[in-house]
């Protein structure tokens, strides 16, 4: 139980216990007395005008989104001059805690990241850019469901607000895209870049741009991250594309999700080095099990095309030559 008296927000959400603290907000497990379910309630702790605007913006943008890989918004308001959000309660841990225990196996990571990329594709299709993709903002359930959280600094594409009032770049220094460092307008490509850094860190166990915030942010203006060629097949090419310096050279979130599903399928085959020593699997969820047929539908057409190309290259031409030679053979015999 919380040390302080329970809060009753909106006349229906009663706080039960504290479950987290952020830079500007406290998060509680709360009980919804109307729908009789537990939710997560995010309550701003120190309220400034900027905080109010961010909370209102987060509520507005989350209200535009409805996707299984994005934490759902149930309600929002202001109580005693303190803005609050009632959100889906996720039973799991932030990805940052998982990575603290070591790298993830390639297939497990591909399945998790494909969900995140699909959630980003949903947001981008509605003009919403998250702008702060990092391990602590990806929640993973015990069974392997991945959800995006914390849209506190998300913005609509084309929004003029790219910088904070004190002139600092918005985002987390270790993961922001080069265009964010320059203070330029950002698009969904910035989220794809950050997700690429997150994936690389998850595979190698090392942060791509370590060090002080300013140094880490400026480093990517001149070079991309170091991507080992020893990574499982398919991963180096995808990560190079995702972390391209030019946003136009990066794949979309939707294309990234599709490619990750292909990699997850490829990692299922023996002998590809997808699960290397020291990596850990995240067990599949019932949701992941249900999505397996979808995975096959995505992967199968690509495999079919590869088989057709192999057929035409290796068998079709010799067969044509053989068939063409048959009349001459009969004449000679």
| Half-sphere exposure for 237 (CA within 13 Å, toward CB) | 5
Residue 266 contacts residue 238 (beta carbons within 8 Å): no
Cα separation, 302 vs 32, whole angstroms: 46
Residue of 245, 240, 238, 200 whose CA lies nearest to 222: 245
Residue of 146, 183, 84, 77 whose CA lies nearest to 287: 146
**Residue 191 designated active-site:** no
Residue 22 contacts residue 54 (beta carbons within 8 Å): no
Torsion, Cα 287 293 297 303, to 10 degrees, reads 110
Print burial letters for 313-328: b (CB count within 10 Å at least 16), e (below 16): eeeeeeeeeeeeeeee
Q: Phi and psi of 21, rounded to 5°?
A: -140, 135
Q: What are the CA-CA distances from residue 172 to residues 117, 177, 180, 209 (Å)?
A: 19, 10, 10, 11
Question: In terms of DSSP H, where are the helices of the chain?
Answer: 49-63, 95-100, 106-125, 178-181, 188-204, 213-219, 235-242, 253-266, 286-290, 292-311, 317-332
Give the single-character DSSP code of 272: S
Catalytic residue among 51, 75, 132, 191: 132
Q: What are the CA-CA distances from residue 196 to residues 5, 96, 118, 146, 177 (Å)?
A: 43, 15, 14, 16, 10
Q: Is 161 helix (H, G, I), strand (E, B) or coil?
A: coil
Residue with tokens 């609509």: 156
Active site residues: 132
């Amino acid at each position: 139980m919380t040390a302080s008296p329970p809060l009753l927000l909106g006349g229906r959400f009663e706080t039960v216990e504290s479950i987290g603290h952020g830079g500007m907000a406290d998060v509680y497990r709360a009980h919804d007395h109307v729908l009789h379910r537990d939710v997560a309630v995010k309550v701003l702790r120190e309220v400034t005008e900027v905080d109010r605007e961010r909370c209102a913006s987060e509520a507005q943008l989350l209200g535009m989104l409805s996707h299984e890989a994005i934490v759902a918004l149930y309600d929002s308001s202001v109580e005693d001059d303190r803005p609050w959000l009632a959100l889906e309660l996720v039973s799991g841990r932030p990805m940052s805690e998982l990575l603290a225990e070591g790298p993830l196996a390639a297939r497990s990571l591909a399945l998790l990241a494909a969900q995140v990329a699909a959630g980003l594709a949903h947001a981008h299709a509605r003009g919403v850019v998250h702008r702060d993709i990092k391990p602590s903002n990806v929640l993973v359930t015990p069974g392997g469901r991945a959800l995006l959280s914390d849209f506190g600094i998300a913005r609509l594409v084309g929004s003029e607000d790219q910088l904070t009032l004190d002139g600092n770049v918005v985002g987390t220094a270790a993961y922001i895209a080069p265009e964010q460092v320059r203070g330029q307008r950002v698009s969904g490509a910035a989220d794809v870049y950050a997700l690429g850094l997150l994936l690389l860190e998850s595979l190698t166990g090392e942060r791509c741009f370590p060090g002080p915030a300013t140094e880490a942010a400026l480093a990517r203006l001149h070079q991309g991250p170091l991507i080992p060629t020893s990574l499982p097949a398919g991963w180096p090419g995808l990560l190079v594309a995702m972390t391209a310096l030019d946003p136009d050279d990066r794949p979309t979130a939707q294309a990234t999700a599709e490619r990750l599903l292909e990699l997850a399928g490829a990692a299922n085959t023996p002998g590809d080095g997808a699960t290397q020593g020291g990596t850990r699997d995240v067990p599949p969820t019932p949701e992941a099990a249900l999505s397996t047929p979808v995975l096959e539908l995505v992967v199968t057409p690509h495999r079919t095309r590869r088989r057709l190309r192999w057929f035409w290259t290796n068998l079709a031409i010799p067969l044509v030559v053989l068939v063409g030679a048959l009349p001459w053979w009969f004449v000679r015999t």
